[in-house]
Structure 1
Amino acid sequence: MGKTRRYILWSFAKAYLLVFLPFLLVVSLIFVIQLSILSSRVNLEFRELVQLFGYMLPEIFFYTVPLSLIAALANTFTRFSEENEFIALFSLGHTPGKVLRFMIPTLLLFTALLLVLSVMLYPQMKQKLNHFKRQKIAEATLNISPNKLSQNFGSYHVFVESKDANDTYRNMVLFNQGTKGAYQLFIAREGRVANDGKRFTLTLRNGTGETSDPKKVENLHYRELDIYQYPRNVYQSIVTSREYWKKALHDKGRRGKLLYLIFVSLTPILAFGIIAALTFYNPRYQRSLSIAVIFITALAVYLPAAILQKSGSVPLFIALVIFLLALGIFLLRRRVLRSF
């Protein structure tokens, strides 16, 4: 019994790695392309690129693990059928039910892994990723280049003549066009930008300014002048996964996303019966249909998942889970347990 279980699981593991590793590479490349698009907007160091990719890993694994599992199960059972290995196992006294039960612990482990990735890690990594993107994009507005027009610091249009090695700007001009004739104009010999974690500060030194409203114009001379910018929604706190999903109680969109993640996480259990029923066959009377089985099973899982994400309906979620489980059991009894 132990040797048979090890042989089946080892065959499945080899098939899984042959599918998972190339699929992981392809999906990772897609996410790397997304990073390259972001890096074209802001300057990212290699360390920051690695950090961002780490935030994406739970989502990458969540996309690759279920589909790889479906393909590996279909390929493993198809090979066993094509090479008459199921018949050999049955001749040794193993029933189809026993052979299938060998896979149950592995499927439960995959389900637990997907639930951890989706329900626990996904919200944390998603918040950190969005926070990082917002902060870098906001900081990108502070990279003021010398002799370049159409640059902004908050509501001010900025022009800089030069920038030295210490990140000090030389000969700056700032202009803010207000409403109804009001405006602000500042000229400074030098300036620096600082980020204290809550706001961005542009400090101007040794300059003059002019402000106006419909009634008067005022001139000023200053030794040091601070202009603040508070980027909107940049410094949001990162909540726990429980607090993140608690919003699903009254937010249909968040609830739909949670139901989608849980439903896809149950793929190992929901898809197992369907795959086994369609890949247990006698090669003398049936041809290999592994590609069709993979497509049908993926459609049977991801189409209802997409509907759940759209609807956010808990009763529909329960109904779909029960339906797919019942369908798998029905097909197993009709096509496998009665025939072998």
Structure 2
Amino acid sequence: MKLKQYLYSQLAITFFPIFLGLYFITSIVFLVKIASLTSIITINFFELFTLYTYVIPQIVFYTMPISFFIALVLTLSKLASEYELTVITSFGLNPIKILKIFFPITLLLSITLLVVSVGLIPKTKFLTKQFLDLKKKEANFNIKASQFGQKFGDWLIYISEEQDRAYSGVKLFKTENEKDQFILSQSAVLNNDKGELSFKLKEGKAFFINDEELNQVNFESMHINDSIADSKLENFSTVYDYWKLQIKRGTNIDDLTFFILTSIFPLISLFLVITFGYFNPRYEKNRAVAYSLISVVFYYILVKSISDKIFLHALYIIPIIWVFSTYILYSKTIKKEY
């Protein structure tokens, strides 16, 4: 039990600096991307923070598997370089028993990453698109007072005064099906009902003019909806329904396979951990970091190159190939020595 706690403490000491460093760098990249949106829409600090919270699952997903795998390798290599692994092995704990100690926490991590990638990331991406769609709509409603040539959807619009989305002296005009439509309203307000924007006109007149007749309609209240084309943003009900629909359509399947295979990467790479972590400091150099980075890059290339061609079949083909290959590597190196 004390040995288990000691190994976990050594893992924590190694893991958190790596993870926090990668998290900070990745956060900067995402914040720059979010800040670039200010050229299209106007957002305040709270909205900027909201968008950042939406990308936290993506940051965790991209940094956690790499950080944990490298931390595991570095933990064992550090113990090996300080001859602690030699002492541990002398007490009868071979590499497989060390691997069993790290297995539960690695399994828990992979399950957590599956929840984050398959569950949270699609939801937060939907919320981000919904937020940006709303802000773009609001930007299109940014009508200035006493300016000609402004458009509100298909309508040409002119307003006399504007204050905090409340307008007065509103005039709207458009031509549709060879019929001119002209609306006069004393006042109007912009309504936002759960992201659906509409223009509510009060106390006005509407004129419909063609070559043969002119019709006038007096109104106390009029709503103009769908003046701006709605985006093709679909509703997000549940994660299961979302992925079921994507698989049925044959879309985003490569994302699903990438999410799952990346989430289980630390779990199926445990043989690599002991292969790279174990070495004799008297006769061998510590190349744990280099080997770890090479294996991470190779795995990601393997996932992207194969999953794009065989799609869902990659979910069992790649793990089988990876576990079998890493076990062969372990058998021909560390298993012989320990």
- Give the TM-score, by structure 2 length: 0.87
**Contact kept in structure 2, 1:11 and 1:76, CA below 8 Å:** yes
Kindly indicate whether residue 189 of structure 2 is the aligned counterpart of residue 228 of structure 1.
no
Match of 1:51 in 2: 50
**Contact kept in structure 2, 1:155 and 1:176, CA below 8 Å:** yes
Match of 1:99 in 2: 98
Match of 2:83 in 1: 84
Secondary structure at 2:37 match in 1: helix
In 2, distance between residues paired with 1:252 and 1:221?
A: 50
Q: Quick one: structure 1 residues 216 and 80, their matched pair in 2 at CA, closer, same or farther if it must change by over 3 Å?
A: farther
In 2, distance between residues paired with 1:24 and 1:198?
A: 32
User: Aligned AA for 1:125?
Assistant: T
In 2, distance between residues paired with 1:319 and 1:75?
A: 28
In 1, distance between residues paired with 2:110 and 2:262?
A: 9
**Contact kept in structure 2, 1:253 and 1:312, CA below 8 Å:** no
- Flag structure 1 segments of 5+ consecutive residues without an equivalent: none
Any residues of structure 2 matched to 1:179-198 within 5 Å, and which?
182-197=179-194
Any residues of structure 2 matched to 1:300-315 within 5 Å, and which?
300-311=298-309, 313-315=311-313
- Flag structure 2 segments of 5+ consecutive residues without an equivalent: none
User: Aligned AA for 1:245?
Assistant: W
Secondary structure at 1:301 match in 2: helix
- Percent identity over the alignment? 23
Secondary structure at 2:159 match in 1: strand
Kindly indicate whether residue 242 of structure 2 is the aligned counterpart of residue 256 of structure 1.
no
- Give the TM-score, by structure 1 length: 0.87
Q: How many Å apart are 1:199 and its aligned residue?
A: 4.3
Which deviations, in whole Å up to 9, do the C-alpha atoms of 1:208-253 show, x marking residues without a partner?
655444x346364745462522252477432111111112432322
Larger CA deviation: 55-64 vs 275-284 = 275-284
Larger CA deviation: 328-337 vs 139-148 = 139-148
Secondary structure at 2:337 match in 1: coil
- List structure 1 runs of 4+ shifted beyond 6 angstroms: none
Q: Quick one: structure 1 residues 102 and 35, their matched pair in 2 at CA, closer, same or farther if it must change by over 3 Å?
A: same
Kindly indicate whether residue 247 of structure 2 is the aligned counterpart of residue 246 of structure 1.
no
Which deviations, in whole Å up to 9, do the C-alpha atoms of 1:24-81 show, x marking residues without a partner?
1122222222332334433434443333333322222111111111221232222223
What's the RMSD between the two structures over aligned residues? Answer: 2.7
Any residues of structure 2 matched to 1:1-340 within 5 Å, and which?
2-148=1-147, 151-164=150-163, 167-178=165-176, 182-197=179-194, 199-205=196-202, 210-213=207-210, 215-216=211-212, 218=214, 220=216, 222=218, 224=220, 226-230=222-226, 231-233=229-231, 236-311=234-309, 313-340=311-338
Q: Quick one: structure 1 residues 328 and 83, their matched pair in 2 at CA, closer, same or farther if it must change by over 3 Å?
A: same
Which deviations, in whole Å up to 9, do the C-alpha atoms of 1:244-286 show, x marking residues without a partner?
1112432322322211111111111122222321332122332
